[in-house]
Structure 1
Amino acid sequence: MSVRVLTWTLAVFLLIHPQAASAFPWMIKHNYTSCQSCHVDPSGGGVMTDYGRAQQQTLLETQWGTPNLEGEASPNTQFLYGALGSSRPEWFLPELSVRAGGLFSRSVNLGASSNEGQVRDVLVPVVMAADVRAAVVAGAFRAMASLGVAPRRAFAASLTPVGDVDGTKLISRDYWLGAALLDDALFIRAGRLTLPFGIRSVEHTLWARAVTRTDFNDSQQHGVAVAYSGESFRTEVMAIAGNFQVSPDDYRERGASGYFEYVFAPNLTAGVSSLVTFARYDRLRSEANTLRQAHGLFARYAPSPDLALVAELDALVRSSQQGGLQAGVVGYAQADLEVVRGLHLLGTVELLREDQRGAAGTQLGGWLGMSWFVTRGLEVRLDGFARQTPVQGQPSISNLGGVLLLHLYL
């Protein structure tokens, strides 16, 4: 496969990979430094608690008509706009998430051998999420599971045999059993979990999430995790047993992952994270005996009630039978400005430098976006992006485009 085709394929793959949205690190501007009050998952994302659903209305969504000065959430914040009423047990927390829209992407490769190959445009409809999730919270007992349909990709989360064929498949991103102890400060879980590492956010296509394989799209792994949330810090560590939804066993990574985040002030946190895994065969890189590491820093800061800043920088180290020892760095910085309640303007810059079997280069990217929580259960997301990829001995390849999405969350 030529470099041009490989790069174009990777760019489109990253952008239309199915996505689940549930984690917003910019909630720190509302003095939320921890995640467990709003999410069943102690590190954020996934099923929301009843309290978290109420905060969606009072803090996230555009307020129409007379403002609710008392900050009380209406009954329609519950599942299916509260249609189940009192028939839904308090311990049962169901959710539905559908995210779909359109993608335009242009790949410009000035080093292509023909004029036809220099520019390639793609305009396609996309379905990034079509999932149902549910959690059980009964005393100290906790459980969560998700089930969805992916029209494209999501191979690592598939419940049905797919091989190398891309098509509609039944998927489950995460499922686990656990217990919350010590007044919910200590949380122990076992199952298929999102790896605890760095900043958990909805932008799974960021290089920091894709390269470290710590997004919560389909990179979850089976294992056991222990989380603890104190007044001034939170932490989670996980023993990784491998992703048992891929086979054969040689493809499965084993190791450990974790983070520690300290709360310096209600509007300022910083942390460290680390990940080490080993696989007898890396199915994404086609390399044997791969040891993969990522170690980094991250921070969240809200200088005002309308502005939140987040950043992450990770060192990358990997060794394999074919590629030898390789090193790199990945990171990003993002600003979120809420111009009016529910309407967010986002700006993101990112970088990636990674050895590729003797060749190295710095990739740069930028995003400008708008996220509008229009009303209860509806988000409109519009993003424009630009990414530049160096090619050894040739002009760099540019990827430009935009994505328009409607997200229905009930």
Structure 2
Amino acid sequence: MSVRVLTWTLALCLLVHPRAALAFPWMIKHNYTGCQSCHVDPSGGGVMTDYGRAQQQTLLETQWGTSDPEGEADSNTWFLYGALGSSRPEWFLPEVSVRAGGLFTRSVNLGATSNEGQVRDVLVPVVMAADVRAAVVVGAFRAMASLGVAPRRAFAASLTPVGDIDGPKLVSRDYWLGAALLEDALFIRAGRLTLPFGLRSVEHTLWARAVTRTDFNDTQQHGVAVAWSAENFRTEVMAIAGNFQVGPDGFRERGGSGYLEYAFAPNLTAGVSSLVTFARFDRLNLEANTLRQAHGLFARYAPSPDLALVAELDALVRGSQQGGTQMGVVGYAQADLEVVRGLHLLGTVEVLREDQRGATGMQLGGWLGLSWFAARGLEVRLDGFARQTPVEGQPSISNLGSVLLLHFYL
């Protein structure tokens, strides 16, 4: 496996950093154990409710000259800073999200045959996928859809055939129709949905999200999901019919996924999740008759109003006609410390062990990040990361890098 391939694989993975899902597991430190009050999606992420937008200002963003940071939100929390005023119907919830930034990576491969191959640097400016999305909430009826442009990758969310062309494309990541019943405790949806599994997080390049294919970027699937939210627990299960934006039909995974999370206290939750899918031909691993499974545990804990700890650990099982049965494990732990209102320091460690071509043993990764919700509709994020990948018969390959993102959400 060449250093050039590994470097560009990592770089391209980071280029498609997810849209503004605003799915933050660390909201547990504000005693938010559920998601349905702030998000139209009962499991979090996607379009925010008016209440969620208000909490975004009062709990997330840096307060500039506000005497009462816990007071009511200003009118500029609404869509386009409230420019539409009262002309926007209450049942219509639109959003716009744009990300742009720069990426630097350094790959060190001491097993390379040339000095040029031993150390390779990549520095590129990037424009992330730009999305417009909206939800409709009328009585028990719910609907949501998104439309955007992905400058790179996101093949599985493309609305038009792309083949192997890695260029700009029109994408729709999720869209669905649903109904909220029994005073919103029961939520039934059908459409293209983010799979209910593990912790929903904006860091879609985490191994736990990438390997289980449960990220926000393009791994959504078509199907039917049922969610239930009670005082102390929440759950969602989904019957997966396949991703109909991918063809031919043999590439489509079918099966099911779900999670159950219990709140032991307002600042402590734990849960289990499971995923089982089958594809006649796995489009990523290029193996026939692939049965893919992931089963795991996750937890969220806030020992103080300024600190949140989250963790997830999943067992991986993959069986195929060519590769037989392969086992693995993936997981991560993350700490979020809010130094002052809106300014977060994040530390993440992650592990991955799975059988794959050219790699053996345990892969280790670490991230240090700064996320600053600097003003209404603006997040600045800076991450530094290091990952080590073992290569069979050669010294391990080290990947180092940093990424700076500006995120505008309106």
**TM-score normalised by structure 2 residue count:** 0.98
Amino acid at match of 1:333: A
Amino acid at match of 2:239: A
Matches within 5 A, 1:230-309: 230-309=230-309
Quote the offset at 1:121 in angstroms: 0.8
Amino acid at match of 2:96: L
Amino acid at match of 1:77: T
Quote the offset at 1:4 in angstroms: 2.6
Quote the offset at 1:168 in angstroms: 0.4
Quote the offset at 1:334 in angstroms: 0.1
Quote the offset at 1:85 in angstroms: 0.5
Q: Which residue of structure 2 aligns with residue 44 of structure 1?
A: 44
Write the distance in 2 (CA, Å) between the matches of 1:129 and 1:373: 20
Write the distance in 2 (CA, Å) between the matches of 1:324 and 1:179: 42
Contact preservation (8 Å) 2:97, 2:131: yes
Write the distance in 2 (CA, Å) between the matches of 1:176 and 1:262: 26
Q: Which residue of structure 1 aligns with residue 316 of structure 2?
A: 316
Q: Taking every aligned residue pair, what percent have the same amino acid on both sides?
A: 85
Contact preservation (8 Å) 1:18, 1:127: no
Contact preservation (8 Å) 2:198, 2:272: yes
Amino acid at match of 1:353: R
Q: Which residue of structure 2 aligns with residue 117 of structure 1?
A: 117
Q: Which runs of 5+ in 1 are unaligned?
A: none
Measured against aligned partners, the alpha-carbon deviations of 1:117-160 in whole angstroms (never above 9, x if no partner) come to 11111111112230001000000000000000011000000001
Contact preservation (8 Å) 1:155, 1:162: yes
Write the distance in 1 (CA, Å) between the matches of 2:341 and 2:92: 30
Contact preservation (8 Å) 2:279, 2:288: yes
Write the distance in 2 (CA, Å) between the matches of 1:274 and 1:5: 35
Quote the offset at 1:356 in angstroms: 2.0
Write the distance in 1 (CA, Å) between the matches of 2:324 and 2:125: 40
Instruction: Specify the SS of the correspondent of 2:322.
Output: coil
1:14 matches 2:13: yes
Amino acid at match of 1:241: A
- Relative to structure 1, the CA distance from residue 357 to residue 18 in structure 2 (aligned partners, 3 Å threshold; closer, same or farther) is closer
Q: Which residue of structure 2 aligns with residue 62 of structure 1?
A: 62
Contact preservation (8 Å) 2:17, 2:205: no
Write the distance in 2 (CA, Å) between the matches of 1:356 and 1:307: 36
Quote the offset at 1:3 in angstroms: 3.7
Matches within 5 A, 1:70-85: 71-85=71-85
Q: Which residue of structure 2 aligns with residue 156 of structure 1?
A: 156
Contact preservation (8 Å) 2:282, 2:288: yes
Q: Calculate the aligned-residue CA RMSD, in Å.
A: 1.0
Write the distance in 2 (CA, Å) between the matches of 1:67 and 1:245: 50
Quote the offset at 1:359 in angstroms: 5.7
Contact preservation (8 Å) 1:94, 1:135: yes
Write the distance in 2 (CA, Å) between the matches of 1:248 and 1:4: 32
Write the distance in 2 (CA, Å) between the matches of 1:213 and 1:74: 38
Measured against aligned partners, the alpha-carbon deviations of 1:353-375 in whole angstroms (never above 9, x if no partner) come to 00126963110000000000001
Contact preservation (8 Å) 2:308, 2:337: yes
Write the distance in 2 (CA, Å) between the matches of 1:102 and 1:135: 31
Measured against aligned partners, the alpha-carbon deviations of 1:341-390 in whole angstroms (never above 9, x if no partner) come to 00000000000000126963110000000000001000000000000000
Contact preservation (8 Å) 1:97, 1:131: yes
Amino acid at match of 1:218: D
Quote the offset at 1:58 in angstroms: 0.3
Write the distance in 2 (CA, Å) between the matches of 1:265 and 1:408: 34
Q: Which residue of structure 2 aligns with residue 226 of structure 1?
A: 226
Amino acid at match of 2:296: G
Matches within 5 A, 1:186-197: 186-197=186-197
Contact preservation (8 Å) 1:18, 1:153: no
Contact preservation (8 Å) 2:16, 2:129: no
Quote the offset at 1:18 in angstroms: 4.0
Contact preservation (8 Å) 1:130, 1:149: yes
Amino acid at match of 2:5: L
1:404 matches 2:404: yes
| Aligned length in residues | 409
Q: Which residue of structure 1 aligns with residue 338 of structure 2?
A: 338
Amino acid at match of 2:16: H
Q: Which residue of structure 1 aligns with residue 3 of structure 2?
A: 4
Write the distance in 2 (CA, Å) between the matches of 1:30 and 1:367: 24
Amino acid at match of 2:71: G
